[in-house]
Structure 1
Amino acid sequence: MNRFLLLIVTTISLTIGSAANSAAMDWKAHWIWQAKDGPANTWVAFRKEFEMNEVPEKVLANISTDTKYWLWINGEMVLFEGGLARGPHRDGTYYDEVELQPFLKPGKNSLAILVWYWGKTAKTHEDSGKGGLVFSADLGETVLQSDRSWMLKVHPAYDPKSKGLNRSANRPNAMDVKFDARKAMGDWSGKAWYSADYSMDESWKPATEKGVPPAMPWGKLVKRPIPHWNDRGLTDYESLRIGKKKITLPYKNEGKKPVTIFAKLPKNKQITPYLKVNSNGGRTIKIGTDNSWNLINAQYTTKHGVQSFETYSWMSGHAVKYTVPPGVEVQDLQYRWTGLGSITGTFQCSDPFFERLWSMAANTLYICSRDCYMDCPDRERGLWIGDVADQTGAVFYTLGEPGRLLLKKGIDNTIAYQNSDIIQGLAPGFGNYRGKSSELTAQSLQYIDQGIWRYYFNTGDKATLANAYPSVLAYLKLWNMEPSGLPEIRKGYASWVDWGTNPDKKPVEVCWYYIALDAAKKMAMELDKPDDIGWYDERIQSIAANFDKIYWRDGYYGSQGAVKDERVSALAILNGLADPSKYSALLENVLTTEYNASPHMEWIVEEAIMLAGDHAAGLKRMRERYQSQVDDKDLTTLCEKFGKKRGTPNHAWNAPNYVLSRYIAGIAADEVAWKSYHVLPNLAHLTAVKQVVPSVQGDISVDIKLSDKNYTMHLISPAGTKAVVGIPKASIATTVIMVNGSTIWENGTFVDNVSGISWNGESSEHLKFDVASGTWTFTAKAD
């Protein structure tokens, strides 16, 4: 596609997608900051007092900052960490909508905002080059707007040279916090700062007005597309220890050397640590986590007396480490757990191994979700779209609406930051990776199907699909076809397909290209683009006609002379290139014998085994691959790699929960937006499975129990949906099936006995019924 034409198409799509967000706000408020533009890693305190005769029933504030902010009214915290990493598109910034009404009162009111300007472009943040705050709230009688009447002060206790500022662009945008309490400003944001107890001295200056939105460099303001963080408040740790010895508080370091207190968390979380100490001035307490990959730390230097501190730059781990110098008395240690929404899906089963594995995978997904879906919450925090593609399937079994909205945001960000016709691997702030385009061709192709298409199929959000589709078509047209009838291989910045061993790269990318073509064809059909379908069909048919000729090796798929790679055969099953007549050979020769895949593609191998019909073998492989991690009681998340060198202990591309939910519990959508779905369990050795799926139509609840002669399934199906329910033949030799106590099937014959239940047919694996929405209990009995 012509680059200029694509730019026009993309701009129009973005305008349509964000029009409701930006047009609704007629900004009169000013962007404000200190006179100079930064500098980077600056914390600025803002104050504003105002009078109200009465408080309206609703007071919405619209707030935008570069970059993060914390908001108090009348000494009460309204919002902990507002703002999003910048970059809805190249010329825009997100703004928040915040309800203020519960915190306001007639008479004098006081507003305090602390803004942290990062000042660094990397990963998922594009720096504007200027710190800033813009605020507008309709108070009923008047509108409170940011302008030169607001007072500000650069917070002197925060060190702008704290470690982390000069890290490479391949590391997190956020940085360490170094706070010197001897330079602190007292209770400037609390209940005292607007009373006679707090004096605003000459160090507070009137704000400098920097322009009215859409003033550059912040550009057009786009409403935050995801909810504010779920703030659980400060809470106690599970336990505290020094070395192997448990301690209780208060604790005073009476020794001559610093001691490290390990504060145990119930599981790996996104947290901000808190402390309360009694100390002389000038003692430095270091704060980090037990995660060796964690790059965000904090350092607190004490003043004299009793004092408390919470580091606002979040970090992750299974435990927090407080290194306490001699003479300091620790009176309290707590943490604040924040994150996007919560884990609303559940999975339980009769095998504790798989139940714990599902939970670890769910927590991995959750800890890799915040401003964007991340590859990991420690080393990078990057929106690598191949990692997001791995996450996408799991999202619909694990997270509710916030998780779906974060996927939409990721798709919109990726399309907005494409490089000409290239769908890049990272967005928005890191279009170049090590001086090159961030395109990883295999990941970009995977994202078209498992990211963009799967998002649409599970939500029905056609506007997001329409916005992405022109970029999908343009990207797929970058590939040339070889005389063999297969696509040439494109080179991104690296020909990377997986962390694992012995990757057979060319057929892996051919398979991903075929999968992407099929997904794009489905998009064209949904969006009524008949002129594009012929082009897709031509390439799909060419690859299908020639793939076996080039890559079938008498029992498996792969390149001539290459090490046998199970990933190629797995992808051939997923994309339909492998004829079912070859499944038995693939299972025997490669899928159950070769172990080259890393977690990035391991779940695909397990899915292929189950698609090939051997669910027991799929569970066996899953157990073998994840056994050491599940057995490690110190882990509550899943790691980047298998083996002894595990990499980060919480990496996004682990998706066994998707495989367990879709193929063992057997729950999956059959129609866009879960209007129809199926429950076709394959229990293998399990005797009980219980699952809640937070679908876009509402929660689907399935509870299955199996004994020697009885099989029961309790189903709660949301209103407006229809389901196909299957009784698995492998689980029970059924002679009678009842629903809610009435017989519907007996000795091979359907009995039309229950309204809302009809016969769907029989497959090699299930006896199937069409089921209307409602609450149903199926009971199958054997003689």
Structure 2
Amino acid sequence: MSKEWTAQWIWGGEEESPRNEWRCFRRTFEVSDNPGETQLRISADSRYVLYINGSQVGRGPVRSWAKEQFYDTYEVGHLLKAGQPNTIAVLVMHFGVANFYYILGRGGLIAELSSKQADGSTGTLLVATDESWKTSRLEAHDPSSPRMACQQGFADIYDARNWDENWNRDGYDDSAWQPVHSIGAVGSGPWKKLVPRDIPFLTEEKMMPSRIESFQWVKTPAWTGAFDLRAAFVPGTKTHADNTAYSGYLATLLVLKQSAKVTLGFAGGLRTENVFVDGKRCADWYGTLPERFSDLQLDAGEHLLLVDISASDHGGSYHIAVDSEEAFELRYPVGGDAAGATPFAMVGPFDTVVNVTYKGVRSLNLTEQKYLAAAGIKNAQELEAFKEWVQPLSAAYYNEQDVLGANMWRTEAIRANVTTQMEQGIIASPEPALIPVSAEGYDSELVIDFGKEWSGFIGFEVEAEAGTIIDLYGLEYMNGEYRQHTYGLDNTIRYICREGRQQYLSPVRRGFRHLILTVRGASKPVKLYDVYVNQSNYPVTEAGAFQSSDPLLNQIWEISRHTTRLCMEDTFVDCPAYEQVFWVGDSRNEALVNFYVYGSLDIVKRCLNLVPGSADITPLYLDQVPSAWNSVIPNWTFFWAIACAEYVEHTGDKVYAAEIWPAVRHTLEHYLTHIDDSGLLNIKGWNLLDWAPMDQPDDGIVTHQNMFLYKTLRKADELAAAAGEAKGLFQDAADSLHAAINNRLWDEQQEAYLDCIHPDGRRSDIFSMQTQVVANLCHIAEGARKEKVAAYLVQPPKSFVQIGSPFMSFFYYEALSQAGHYELMLEDIRTNYGQMIEHDATTCWEMYPNFAENRASADMLTRSHCHAWSAAPGYFLGESILGVKRVEDGWRRAAIAPQPCGLTWAKGKVPLPQGGRIEVEWRVERSILKLDVTAPEEVELDIVIPEGLTGEVHIVKTKENVSVAHV
């Protein structure tokens, strides 16, 4: 059909880019005859949910660069009613702030519905966005709800009493709604081009709980507040997600009618311990880090609370709570109550620094005299002397409905019995679970276990009185009474009920395993009919498989598979809970796991294609895209270039090689301009490889980066050859870099490659396994050095920094597999992933709990409990142990080279890019390897029997459902 658009971009309301606005759009129209096949094309800024006649059709769009905004196409003829009114309704959620997966544009919606001719071309235009549409802000949604995280948008606070849920249906009276205004035709606004969606729609599969973990009566602090301080203190930061430092204070008057014990709580952590009451610095802080609490005995009257909030801040919510058994209130501290829409004043900022990582900037100045003097303020009168620095905290950046804070700090919890009726009502019965009314001053808390981690949209159905509050909070990990709170992520929903039976399905994606559901303010039992998550991911099939005689390895493969699935959204993402960000370096490893577990191609190609979109920000390419954080990790760009070559090798797609090659060449040529006089890459950037305490400064010569650049230059030449370009374009640069690494970065005394050379010329005295692993993997060492660094793979020196993340383990396993140390690889997998299984993991952890750097507290095993950069066993158990390896591009030729490593049997499947799969089953009996292989006829096979075994091989070749056996 024609790709020309008749529709216009439209919006409503007073602001072009309002903060956290949920806006509804409607258009009712008639279809006189049966329209047959129809197509609706739609896009929006930032996200939409589409309905036709009350039925949800889909969500979108996929993440985009505004210069190439993606649109979606739906077949909707089956939802239209001939000869009757029909209604298209769209909820558009506009972020209004930049984050790690969205670059600030402006609010906008574009959609058009057309009939479809038999030949696929456009027929009659039925309806399109223009000024005849109506709009209203979704009044139930609170736009001051907390930021979920610096990487993401906002949590839900939804008051169902303020909205008619029939707004998206035919017959709804929208006469009070406003007319929209037109932004313009395609090409108007920030969206310079509309391009069709390049991957299938994501799934929505309803997942139910597996059990109720606990039921408790709980109390929360008397007052809680969530603040977006970065937005408040530095308003210009809405346009970017760069790390921004600022200095200043929050001030309020804490007013007591009588003397009382008061506890100040910072459940999400303090920024500094400079918290003052009446000019006196609070002391005796307690609580398990990062939580901090301080008890105060205060007299009746006014007390000035002054909190130093100076920090480096990407964005997100800051949490403060106050509790006392006696009544108190918070008042604006300057000029009377009318002076502020909130009870807090901002003092400052005294200094502001926007930190663009790859450029490097000065540190925050904390010696400014006014900033230091403000710390001594004792009361509201003394605060007046700083009035030029004092301004009200806007209500847009402040909310007292702090669900996260109330969950992180429960002042009291009393365990009660989970009744059979309650458990059955949530899990299995058509009858609802009755959540009893709590004693006065308490709330009713259910902890619901969904059995494993999921990622998607939380929904529920309840019957309750108007004003009853349903709070939901998703956790990834619990162990008995221990709850690992999502510090840095507001993974919550607050829903305020209207009268009667009602449903809610959050339009905001969340990842979690345990769901804490708390009923607050109920005067009669709440009937809970349903609670679930609509699991949403890139559609995959169970194409790959692995099983063996070792149940532990089978469990490890399964959590690797499930982790990969949850981290396949509209791109690969790092994790479904904390970030949901397409990190470029992570996706290289995720793609390889996917090739063996699911075999999906479109999502890999889409990820590769998104990266060069950052070229107009930096030719070095951003480390997460599309993103408003201008951050560069050189290794991530190198892994992207390697992944481009690996995709071509996997698929044999030389056309794609020619398409992507110019972007690969472009960035590598710019990286080579950062080669210094010593012949080494010397660059300011986020020079990351692992979370462990290795020496990888953000400036200078980092050894592992130079090694990976060498490998990337070699792989780029292979990609150029596949693209039909001149051979050896980067050969000289690679050879020179290889020589410089060996001349400058080897330490004769330690007989190892040092971690770095600092900008002042100081050679690092830290040696790490990470650097030696990369030296092996990238074929850096030669001669005696090669033997030495190869030996480190088998016997890591205890004095070297050890591997700290499963991400780094991926490269370690690559090096071990390359060297033939399969037994050692399995031993490491069993040890490190085995500890995850021991802790009831259903997904792979982001980190190993080896170092303090890997934890926010002593109890925290890892930050994220679901992280696809960690799913290495999903690849290596199939590639190395099952033994299915690609030999030629496009899998025209494959090797079957099992590595039993003490296993008695293994079997599995590896999907192929051209369709079909290779199936392998082997068993070791005495010294005989009995091997059965099924493969497509067009795939040539090399059978490799392990040394010390003889083989009995049976091969079945498949073609058009006909099997031919060969022995």
Range of TM-score over shorter length: 0.7 to 0.9
**Would the aligned equivalents of 1:47 and 1:152 in 2 still touch at CA under 8 Å?**
yes
Say if 1:553 and 1:691 are closer, same or farther in 2 by CA, change over 3 A: farther
> C-alpha displacement at 1:62, in angstroms?
0.9
> C-alpha displacement at 1:520, in angstroms?
0.8
Say if 1:194 and 1:388 are closer, same or farther in 2 by CA, change over 3 A: same
**Would the aligned equivalents of 1:286 and 1:298 in 2 still touch at CA under 8 Å?**
yes
SS in 2 for 1:331: strand
> C-alpha displacement at 1:131, in angstroms?
3.0
2:534 aligned to 319, 329, 336, which one?
A: 336
Say if 1:627 and 1:203 are closer, same or farther in 2 by CA, change over 3 A: same
Say if 1:563 and 1:38 are closer, same or farther in 2 by CA, change over 3 A: closer
1:682 aligned to 890, 895, 899, which one?
A: 899
**Would the aligned equivalents of 1:503 and 1:596 in 2 still touch at CA under 8 Å?**
no
Say if 1:176 and 1:777 are closer, same or farther in 2 by CA, change over 3 A: farther
CA distance in 2, matches of 1:621, 1:341: 32
> C-alpha displacement at 1:561, in angstroms?
6.6
Determine whether 1:221 maps to 2:194: yes
CA distance in 2, matches of 1:738, 1:298: 57
Query: Normalising by structure 2, what TM-score?
Result: 0.68
**Counterpart code for 2:833:** Y
CA distance in 2, matches of 1:580, 1:686: 35
**Would the aligned equivalents of 1:123 and 1:429 in 2 still touch at CA under 8 Å?**
yes
Determine whether 1:314 maps to 2:509: yes
Output the aligned Cα RMSD: 2.9
CA distance in 1, matches of 2:545, 2:33: 46
1:171 aligned to 130, 151, 163, which one?
A: 151
Matching residue of 1:349: 548
> C-alpha displacement at 1:218, in angstroms?
2.1
Determine whether 1:413 maps to 2:610: yes
Counting only pairs closer than 5 Å after superposition, residues 638-649 of structure 1 correspond to structure 2 as 638-643=845-850, 645-649=861-865
Query: Normalising by structure 1, what TM-score?
Result: 0.83
**Would the aligned equivalents of 2:40 and 2:111 in 1 still touch at CA under 8 Å?**
no
**Would the aligned equivalents of 1:722 and 1:773 in 2 still touch at CA under 8 Å?**
no
Matching residue of 2:836: 629
CA distance in 2, matches of 1:580, 1:718: 42
**Counterpart code for 1:407:** V
**Would the aligned equivalents of 1:343 and 1:398 in 2 still touch at CA under 8 Å?**
no
**Counterpart code for 1:617:** L
Say if 1:44 and 1:135 are closer, same or farther in 2 by CA, change over 3 A: farther
Say if 1:467 and 1:305 are closer, same or farther in 2 by CA, change over 3 A: same
SS in 1 for 2:457: strand
> C-alpha displacement at 1:336, in angstroms?
1.4
SS in 1 for 2:835: helix
Matching residue of 1:435: none
**Counterpart code for 2:536:** T
Matching residue of 1:41: 20
Q: Per-residue CA shift, 1:191-222, capped at 9, x if unaligned?
A: xx324xx4x04322333222111222222101
CA distance in 1, matches of 2:691, 2:843: 22
> C-alpha displacement at 1:650, in angstroms?
1.4
> C-alpha displacement at 1:308, in angstroms?
1.6
1:382 aligned to 581, 586, 595, which one?
A: 581
**Would the aligned equivalents of 2:559 and 2:841 in 1 still touch at CA under 8 Å?**
no
**Would the aligned equivalents of 2:932 and 2:953 in 1 still touch at CA under 8 Å?**
no
**Would the aligned equivalents of 2:6 and 2:112 in 1 still touch at CA under 8 Å?**
no
Say if 1:288 and 1:446 are closer, same or farther in 2 by CA, change over 3 A: same
- Number of residue pairs the alignment of both structures matches: 701
Counting only pairs closer than 5 Å after superposition, residues 268-287 of structure 1 correspond to structure 2 as 268-287=453-472
CA distance in 2, matches of 1:509, 1:347: 34
SS in 1 for 2:730: helix
SS in 1 for 2:30: strand
Structure 1 unaligned segments of length 5 or more: list them.
Answer: 1-22, 433-437, 741-755, 758-770
Matching residue of 2:451: 266
Identity of aligned residues (%): 22
**Counterpart code for 2:935:** S
CA distance in 2, matches of 1:346, 1:674: 18
CA distance in 1, matches of 2:783, 2:556: 30
Determine whether 1:620 maps to 2:827: yes
Matching residue of 1:695: 912
Determine whether 1:102 maps to 2:78: yes
Counting only pairs closer than 5 Å after superposition, residues 126-141 of structure 1 correspond to structure 2 as 126-138=103-115, 140-141=123-124
1:230 aligned to 203, 221, 240, which one?
A: 203
**Counterpart code for 1:725:** I
**Would the aligned equivalents of 2:211 and 2:448 in 1 still touch at CA under 8 Å?**
yes
Determine whether 1:604 maps to 2:822: no
Say if 1:462 and 1:183 are closer, same or farther in 2 by CA, change over 3 A: farther
**Would the aligned equivalents of 2:187 and 2:193 in 1 still touch at CA under 8 Å?**
yes
CA distance in 2, matches of 1:680, 1:579: 27
**Counterpart code for 1:688:** W
> C-alpha displacement at 1:35, in angstroms?
4.7
**Counterpart code for 1:160:** P
Matching residue of 1:538: 732
**Would the aligned equivalents of 2:202 and 2:570 in 1 still touch at CA under 8 Å?**
no
> C-alpha displacement at 1:590, in angstroms?
4.4
**Counterpart code for 1:414:** V
> C-alpha displacement at 1:526, in angstroms?
1.4
Matching residue of 2:91: 114
**Counterpart code for 1:369:** M
Say if 1:737 and 1:663 are closer, same or farther in 2 by CA, change over 3 A: closer
**Would the aligned equivalents of 1:63 and 1:96 in 2 still touch at CA under 8 Å?**
yes
1:253 aligned to 436, 444, 451, which one?
A: 436
SS in 2 for 1:107: coil
Matching residue of 1:653: 869
1:367 aligned to 563, 566, 569, which one?
A: 566
Matching residue of 1:729: 947
1:565 aligned to 768, 783, 790, which one?
A: 768
**Counterpart code for 1:324:** V
> C-alpha displacement at 1:157, in angstroms?
0.8
CA distance in 1, matches of 2:434, 2:790: 59
2:926 aligned to 677, 698, 708, which one?
A: 708
Matching residue of 2:314: none
**Counterpart code for 2:706:** V
Q: Per-residue CA shift, 1:240-270, capped at 9, x if unaligned?
A: 2434854322212221221221222132111
Matching residue of 2:265: none
**Counterpart code for 1:152:** T
CA distance in 1, matches of 2:83, 2:928: 69
**Counterpart code for 1:454:** E
Say if 1:465 and 1:136 are closer, same or farther in 2 by CA, change over 3 A: farther
> C-alpha displacement at 1:286, in angstroms?
0.9
CA distance in 2, matches of 1:549, 1:706: 47
> C-alpha displacement at 1:483, in angstroms?
6.0
2:9 aligned to 11, 14, 31, which one?
A: 31
2:657 aligned to 451, 457, 465, which one?
A: 465
**Counterpart code for 2:508:** S
> C-alpha displacement at 1:328, in angstroms?
4.3
**Counterpart code for 2:883:** G
**Would the aligned equivalents of 1:43 and 1:154 in 2 still touch at CA under 8 Å?**
yes
CA distance in 2, matches of 1:387, 1:442: 10
Matching residue of 1:161: 144
SS in 1 for 2:680: coil
Structure 2 unaligned segments of length 5 or more: list them.
Answer: 117-122, 216-414, 426-432, 477-484, 755-762, 851-859
CA distance in 1, matches of 2:721, 2:105: 39
Counting only pairs closer than 5 Å after superposition, residues 570-585 of structure 1 correspond to structure 2 as 570-578=773-781, 585=788
CA distance in 2, matches of 1:688, 1:630: 22
**Would the aligned equivalents of 2:51 and 2:57 in 1 still touch at CA under 8 Å?**
yes
**Would the aligned equivalents of 2:548 and 2:907 in 1 still touch at CA under 8 Å?**
yes
> C-alpha displacement at 1:431, in angstroms?
4.6
Determine whether 1:673 maps to 2:880: no
> C-alpha displacement at 1:277, in angstroms?
1.7
**Counterpart code for 1:622:** I
Matching residue of 1:69: 48
> C-alpha displacement at 1:322, in angstroms?
1.0
**Would the aligned equivalents of 1:277 and 1:328 in 2 still touch at CA under 8 Å?**
no
Matching residue of 1:184: 163
Q: Per-residue CA shift, 1:394-419, capped at 9, x if unaligned?
A: 12112333xx2222222222101123
> C-alpha displacement at 1:680, in angstroms?
1.4
**Would the aligned equivalents of 1:287 and 1:323 in 2 still touch at CA under 8 Å?**
yes
Deviates more, 1:308-317 or 1:143-152: 143-152
**Would the aligned equivalents of 2:556 and 2:834 in 1 still touch at CA under 8 Å?**
no
